[in-house]
Chains A and B, each alone.
Chain A
């Protein structure tokens, strides 16, 4: 890079680099950004020029590169690894857990008190429940990816199995949610074992690819096996959640009437919120508990060095299957919850991009870290909900502008940047499961990420 002494700013050099970046940006964006192909009314495709976009892209590249030079941030040539955060950060982290938990319990009530039944609905439903579903999915996948070190790119399949289990069992046999919930978990775990069995011999990226293929196969089957799944149209009028038998309806036998409340849809939403919160906390409890048991330590050992595990007599096949099944089971629970919340399931909710999002949550949060995963879910899912709120941007960019389209675009960029900046995620350290003295966090640089 620059031959100038560190700290001295070489204006000519920076300008040259920035100009080069601008030219490359212009070259990249030349056809794809500057010209838009759009079918007209006669379905004849025509080009519309948008040359200003090209200049904007070039200008952004120029400015970005120049600012980087100005800040004297040089791309490191050594492979990216993490430096540990300062010790104070870990001391602070100890309080985030309990404080966050208290906040989660108070959240819907506080929202309700502050904004009333109408105003709070959106916050509890779109933010609270939506984020918690992904926290739970992230924690479930964390068992497989974070602890056992098996890269699973088809996790959404188990989410789908759970959702369709509840949808089919309740609509066909009229089973209640509370009965279907464990069944959905068991069925998902069963599928986890079924799919896990053939792939356990695979190592590395191959496992990721095969799990992705399985996830897609399950989705394609859901689309095409119309007799059972009703195909793309999905299954609707799934029984909604009831308060232990009391339906959330306006009728005299409903929840509101029984408790002498004025009927409001918010009751059900608050109930669903606490339901998913409990499910997520169950996932967390089981994971934290298992980590301190032989099975959890064995999973982590498996992630560190599978050959050494075999030399110590660990039954690696059973351990991997257990991780797969357990992760799948929590995915199944989350799926059943998804179905009871929506009252409708269709294959379009279980695409590869969902698997990628859940994996992104685990990776960005820090594989193995419960807190990191929860934070990442809040940022990614909460962030994309916030994008919905940015409707005012339409006044700047025109009516066609839809901020939600940018959600996955930003997630993609975030994944790349995170890998460059902190490849082990937000919380990169590992807490020991047992200690003679004080438990000290282990730097992420020493923790391995598994071979599969």
Chain B
């Protein structure tokens, strides 16, 4: 089945001084897919992420987020020529032109971080509420209605609270809703960060190594959570992952990077047998990683 791409990365290049971290990279994230971005350490995965989410401004290339049903190439070109950053009515966003907060707010791209970035001194519930900040802020009349306690805002807040409750249940943290996020165990912090990003109801969710540091049971739970997000919420996912079992089990599409360039792009079973991918991974010096890859490949084949 062919689906139109949600995110199109065209000729993305990112240079830091003399170092080219990402070189002429093109790939697509299709709507409703879980797309994995993999590659050895230092391949430039996080740099791609930071470009997509606006934390870095790419040196060259075009990043199109098309949230409408169909990808309209003519409209994209028109928008590119117009010099505007995005067109809300066409659902088209040129991410390379937009700053990070605008990408999150307008293009509805949410992300998590490799080193978890929770609001540690705020409660689990507060973290989730901040995730829904923008609609709440509008409902509070930019604080004016809220200041006088008007019912309009109170209703909207109750609604947000319900939304938070469903996520609390989904990530099994209802009992700890009023505990500070910094006091949660590591795995729960990872889940909370994903739920916080989901509170903003994104069209694209970017996850930077969501399974890092999780034990096998937590990792399995994460897989289930991500599948739910894809299937029930209809949110497309772009993720960076080192854990090959996660990648092979849940992703619909895999893009492999090495030294800032794309070396393979396809379904997990295609990637598994790709000679260049195996070479790239076996070429690394890290013995542990090689074993991990081989084991994962074997596990994949056995199923």
Chain A residues at the B interface, C-beta cutoff of 8 Å: 286, 289-290, 293-295, 297-298, 300-301, 304-305, 307-316, 430, 432-440, 442-443, 446-448
Asked whether A294 lies within 8 Å of B101 as measured between CB atoms, the reply is no
Return the chain B residue nearest A447 by Cβ.
B121
B118 lies within 8 A of A312 (CB): no
Contact check, B178 vs A437: say whether CB atoms are below 8 A apart.
yes
Task: Give the Cβ gap from A322 to chain B, nearest Cβ, in Å.
Answer: 8
Assembly CA distance A290 to B119 (angstroms): 18
Q: Look across to chain A and name the residue whose beta carbon is closest to the beta carbon of B128.
A: A434
The interface residues of chain B, by DSSP majority, are classed as helix
Q: Chain B residues with Cβ under 8 A from A442's Cβ? A: 121-123, 180
- In the bound complex, residues from chain A placing their C-beta under 8 Å from that of B136 are 294
Residues A446 and B180 in contact, CB atoms below 8 Å apart = yes
Whether a CB of chain A sits under 8 angstroms from the CB of B41 is no
State A297–B123 Cα separation when bound (angstroms): 11
Give the complex CA separation of A289 and B55 in angstroms: 33
Which residue from A293, A304, A307 sits with its C-beta under 8 Å from B120? A304
State whether the Cβ of B143 lies closer than 8 Å to any Cβ in chain A.
yes
**Are B178 and A439 closer than 8 Å at their CB atoms?**
yes
What's the Cα separation between A430 and B101 when bound, in Å?
27
Chain A proximity mask over B125-139: 1 for CB below 8 Å, otherwise 0: 110011101101100
* CB neighbors of A among B166-201 (8 A): 168, 174, 177-180, 182-183, 196-197, 200
A-binding residues in B (CB < 8 A): 53, 55, 100-106, 110-113, 117-123, 125-126, 129-131, 133-134, 136-137, 140, 142-143, 146-147, 153, 161, 165, 168, 174, 177-180, 182-183, 196-197, 200
- Say whether B125 contacts A294, CB under 8 Å: no
Do B178 and A311 touch (CB < 8 A)?
Answer: no
Q: Please, which residues of chain B bring their CB within 8 A of the CB of A311?
A: 53, 55, 100, 104, 110-113, 117, 197
Contact B121 A304 (CB under 8 A): yes
Q: Within the assembled complex, what's the spacing in Å between the Cα atoms of A309 and B55?
A: 12
Shortest beta-carbon distance from A371 to chain B in Å: 18
Whether the Cβ atoms of B118 and A305 lie closer than 8 Å is yes
* A305 pairs with B117, CB closer than 8 A: yes
Within the complex, the shortest CB–CB distance from A309 to chain B, in Å, comes to 8
A297, A446, A447: the one contacting B133 at CB < 8 Å is A297
Give the chain B neighbours of A430 by CB distance below 8 A: 121-122
- Closest chain-B Cβ to A275's Cβ sits at a distance in Å of 22
Picked from B55, B101, B121, the residue with its CB within 8 Å of the CB of A315 is B101
Residue of A nearest to B161 (CB): A434
Query: Is the beta-carbon distance between A440 and B178 smaller than 8 angstroms?
Result: yes
- A446 CB contact (under 8 Å) in B120, B125, B130, B147: B120
A433/B126 in contact, CB under 8 A: yes
Which residues from chain A contact B147 at a C-beta distance below 8 Å? 286, 289-290, 293
Return chain B residues, CB-CB under 8 Å to A305. Answer: 117-120
Partner of A293, one of B100, B131, B143: B143
Whether A301 and B105, one on each chain, are in contact in the complex, defined by CB atoms closer than 8 angstroms, is: no
Report the minimal beta-carbon distance from A263 to chain B, rounded to whole angstroms. Answer: 41
